[in-house]
Amino acid sequence: MLSWEHNPSFVWRSILSVKLVVRQGARWKIGAGFDIPIISEPWIGSGSSIPPVGDDMLALQPYSVGNLIDQERKVWNEPLVRQLFAVETANNILNTPLHHQVERDKLISKAEKNGHYYVRSAYRICIEEVINNDHLRKPGYWSDIWRLKVHPKVKNLVWRICRDCLPTRVKLRSRGVNCPSECVRCDDPHEDSYHLLFHCPITVNIWQTANLWHLIAPSIHQFDNAPDNIVTIMWSIRKARNMKLWQQVSDSTFTILERAKHLLEGWRSANRNKSLLRHDN
């Protein structure tokens, strides 16, 4: 069982903070059933549970799901189930499948048909079931980001900027990470997304060299409407920042622009080839 240790790292704090999300998205796949408590565990149907409410249900806490199964035939003990539970609960239990090939009890993801855990599943559970996320919803044409004709990692960067979750130094410090707040490239004391992509003198020089600053300056806050080349350059600027921080490599303006150009042209070429192949088939 995960628990807090003295001064845990940011990674461990993050893992521990999502235990509820992971647990909420899990259900039991029933083998013999003896590892699954009857009460308060997600084993019925697609993952519902029996709450510990009422003396009758509290009396079942020491028992496991295996006590409700005819182990020789691997079927529910219907008379016992109907004796112990209300009609609706009993019907839900009896409609929960038991498979001979499943020998041991195990927790699986209820959001995926194959039972595997994926980050996308946890995200969906978190957004739809676990928390009140009204305060996280932001107005805007979010689908326009995913319709940009650019590499997926560029779309991901734009989405993170618009959601204000790009891990700049200012953002990391606000999440409890002990790191400097200065810009990696120009030593400005406040490295946030706006500074990194539009205010840093090195970044402004990149936009001017690309002859795009006259387009950027009037619409700095409209990332989701940015043309394909602009958002790809934003990705390359972010890439240069990370290389400076982690590899002590200082990219020139030419290198940053060429990397963006090659990424965009390569992505467009690959998609043209896919279209041709689909047409030929």
Taking the C-alpha atoms of residue 162 and residue 228, their distance in angstroms, rounded to an integer, is 16
Q: Of 212, 211, 180, 185, which is closest to residue 200 (Cα–Cα)?
A: 185
- Tokens at residue 115, please? 């039972």
At 247-259, the pLDDT tens digits run: 999 999 999 999 9
At 182-205, the pLDDT tens digits run: 999 998 999 998 899 988 999 999
At 98-124, the pLDDT tens digits run: 998 888 999 888 777 777 777 777 777
For the chain, the maximum distance between any two Cα atoms, rounded to a whole number of angstroms, is 79
The answer to whether the beta carbons of residues 65 and 71 sit under 8 Å apart is no
Taking the C-alpha atoms of residue 151 and residue 166, their distance in angstroms, rounded to an integer, is 18
User: 108 forms bridges with which residues in the sheet?
Assistant: 27
Looking at residue 236, its amino acid is S
- Helix 228-247 vs helix 201-209: crossing angle, to nearest 10: 140
At 220-235, the pLDDT tens digits run: 554 444 567 888 999 9
What is the pTM assigned to this prediction? Answer: 0.47
Confidence at 180, pLDDT banded by 50, 70, 90: very high
The answer to whether the beta carbons of residues 60 and 66 sit under 8 Å apart is no
At 75-95, the pLDDT tens digits run: 999 999 999 999 999 999 999
Looking at residue 126, its amino acid is C
The answer to whether the beta carbons of residues 130 and 24 sit under 8 Å apart is yes
Q: Residue 92 has what DSSP assignment?
A: H
CA distances from 196 to 46, 58, 238 (A): 46, 57, 8
Q: Which residues of 71-92 are buried (b: 16+ CB within 10 A; e: fewer)?
A: eeebebbeeebbebbeeebbeb
Taking the C-alpha atoms of residue 236 and residue 206, their distance in angstroms, rounded to an integer, is 10
Mapped onto helix, strand or coil, the DSSP state of residue 76 is strand
Task: Taking residues 5-32, report their average pLDDT.
Answer: 73
Report residue 68: phi and psi, to 5°.
-100, 0
